[in-house]
Structure 1
Amino acid sequence: MREISLDRLRTLVVIADLGSFAEAARQLNLAPPTISLHVAELEARVGAALLTRTRGQVRPTVVGETLLARARRLLADADQALDEVQRQVAGLTGRVRLGASTGAIAHLLPSALAALRSEHPGIDVQVQVLTSQASLARVREGSLDIGLVALPQVAVKGVKLTPWRRDPIMAYLPADWQPPARVTPAWLGQRALILNDSSTQLSRVTSDWFAAAGLYPEARIELNYNDAIKSLVAAGYGATLLPQEGEAPELDRRIARRPLRPGLWRALGIACREGEVERATGHVLEALERLRQ
């Protein structure tokens, strides 16, 4: 069974609005026989007359009025759908799915999203808290558009990975420990530690820093929520190593922040699918690029 064509419905609406086959043909830039054929096909499809001619005036029948009411809504919906898609293709609107760690979301994304909202208010960025591995996997499968991931990472087929930022890793310690100006592995390794768990890149970087000094300390607690870790540090429960992301925020006065000796860095990259990206995704990447370091 053939479906009703939107073109045929548009022809019916224009005829009803203008009251003339000839005028409808001129407005739609179609030959008069084509206009008549459209109406004939519709009438054959519904099994009833849709238009009547009285004294040269074309009017819809009762059945025609019913179909016209539906046709106007269908055509309006189709026009709206096309307009929305065209706006998305042009980069004026769109949804972008982005995955990142809680630290990046809290300290790096806000300024990028504020700039994006000012320049492209129609773009909706949906942010998810994800590990680097989860972000890479979702970018690969297509359920995520952008991932902010710790570097280095093993190359993933179909995923483009671009270096983005390099932020210093700092020691966060209870202030009453009276820490030195620069914290060394030897000094810190003798104290209680609250560190990220071994599944994270930060844990591996931290372990390598201690190992280079011949030290292999065990963490008192392993936790991947940085704000919770800092709360425990403020309570005097231990020290931690975390990246200083973005501008250094004001700390709880119970916490002391110190640089490390030797220095240590956390590198971040931007993951997205290889090939051309949608315009909305491109605008988000441009906003992130301004935070490159």
Structure 2
Amino acid sequence: MREISLDRLRTLVVIADLGSFAQAARQLNLAPPTISLHVAELEARVGAPLLTRTRGQVRATAVGQTLLERARRLLADAEQALEEVRGQVAGLTGRVRLGASTGAIAHLLPSALATLQRDHPGIDVQVQVLTSQASLAALRDGRLDVGLVALPQTASKGVKLMPWRRDPILAYVPADWQPPARLTPTWLAARALILNDSGTQLSRVTAEWFAAAGLYPQARIELNYNDAIKSLVAAGYGATLLPQEGEGPELDRRIVCRALRPGLWRSLGIACREGDGDRATGHVLAALKHLRQ
């Protein structure tokens, strides 16, 4: 079954609005026979007359009026769709899918999103809580546009990695433990630990830090939600090692923060698909790069 052409519907609407085939032909910049052909094709498609001519005035029939009401809505929807696409092509609007850890979402993204909202309010960023590996897999599959990932990562075909931030990893310890000013692997390994789960890059970096001192402590509990970990530290359940992400909220008074000796760092990168990409994604990348340390 042939579909009804929007061009034919537009011709019908203009004829009805102007009440004249000749005036419609001039407005649409079409030859009069073409205008007549458009109407004839529509009438053949619906199987009934759509227009009547009375004393030189063209009017819609009852069937024609029903089709005109629908045609106006279809044409308006089509124009709105084109406007939305044009806005996305121009970088004025668009939807960008971004994956990141809970820590990055809570403490780093808000500043970038505030800048983006101020400069490009038509761009909608959809944020997903994902591990670095999950973000890279989603980028490869086309389910994600941007990922904030812990470095180093193995580069894969079609995905581009860019260094972004390098933040110190600090110890968060129950205040009543009265820790020294700087904490060593030996001091921490002798105490209860609450660490990120073993599937994360932070867990691997932390394990390597202990291993360099010949230590292999077992975590009392493993989590992948930094705020929950800090709540357990405040309750005196154990100490943890977490990156300092942005300014961050004020610490619970039951927690003290200490630097490590030797120092330890967490590197973050921005991952995106290779190629030019759309302008909306480019604006998100620019806002993120503005936060580069």
Tell me how far apart the structure 2 counterparts of residues 76 and 219 of structure 1 sit (CA, whole Å): 61
TM-score when scaled to structure 2? Answer: 0.97
Tell me how far apart the structure 1 counterparts of residues 75 and 222 of structure 2 sit (CA, whole Å): 58
Instruction: Give the C-alpha shift of residue 248 in structure 1.
Output: 4.7
Q: Does 1:235 align with 2:235?
A: yes
Task: Output aligned runs, 1:30-49, within 5 Å.
Answer: 30-49=30-49
Secondary structure of the residue aligned to 2:183 is: coil
Q: Does 1:179 align with 2:184?
A: no
What does residue 195 of structure 1 align with? Answer: 195
Tell me how far apart the structure 1 counterparts of residues 248 and 94 of structure 2 sit (CA, whole Å): 33
Q: Does 1:93 align with 2:117?
A: no
Tell me how far apart the structure 2 counterparts of residues 80 and 22 of structure 1 sit (CA, whole Å): 28
Secondary structure of the residue aligned to 1:281 is: helix
Q: Counterpart amino acid of 2:200?
A: T
What does residue 278 of structure 1 align with? Answer: 278
Q: Does 1:257 align with 2:257?
A: yes
Q: Counterpart amino acid of 1:249?
A: P
Stretches of 4+ aligned residues off by more than 4 angstroms: none
Q: Counterpart amino acid of 2:102?
A: T
Q: Percent identity?
A: 85
Q: Counterpart amino acid of 1:35?
A: I
Deviation track 1:113-164 (CA, whole Å, cap 9, x = no partner) reads 1111111111111111111111111111011111111101111221111111
**1:248–1:106 CA distance, 2 compared to 1 (3 A):** closer
Q: Counterpart amino acid of 1:162?
A: M
> Is contact 2:94–2:124 with CA below 8 Å preserved after alignment?
yes
Tell me how far apart the structure 2 counterparts of residues 56 and 218 of structure 1 sit (CA, whole Å): 92
What does residue 267 of structure 1 align with? Answer: 267
Secondary structure of the residue aligned to 1:206 is: helix
What does residue 58 of structure 2 align with? Answer: 58
Secondary structure of the residue aligned to 1:249 is: coil
Tell me how far apart the structure 1 counterparts of residues 249 and 170 of structure 2 sit (CA, whole Å): 13
What does residue 144 of structure 1 align with? Answer: 144
Instruction: Give the C-alpha shift of residue 187 in structure 1.
Output: 1.5
Deviation track 1:43-76 (CA, whole Å, cap 9, x = no partner) reads 1111222112111111112221121111111111
What does residue 27 of structure 1 align with? Answer: 27
Q: Counterpart amino acid of 1:36?
A: S
In the alignment of these two chains, the number of paired residues is 293
Secondary structure of the residue aligned to 1:259 is: strand
RMSD: 1.1
Secondary structure of the residue aligned to 2:238 is: coil
Secondary structure of the residue aligned to 2:172 is: strand
Tell me how far apart the structure 1 counterparts of residues 229 and 72 of structure 2 sit (CA, whole Å): 59
Query: Runs of 5+ in structure 2 lacking a partner?
Result: none
Tell me how far apart the structure 1 counterparts of residues 127 and 178 of structure 2 sit (CA, whole Å): 39
Task: Output aligned runs, 1:125-140, within 5 Å.
Answer: 125-140=125-140
Q: Counterpart amino acid of 1:96?
A: V
TM-score when scaled to structure 1? Answer: 0.97
Instruction: Give the C-alpha shift of residue 249 in structure 1.
Output: 3.3
Q: Does 1:211 align with 2:211?
A: yes
Secondary structure of the residue aligned to 1:216 is: coil
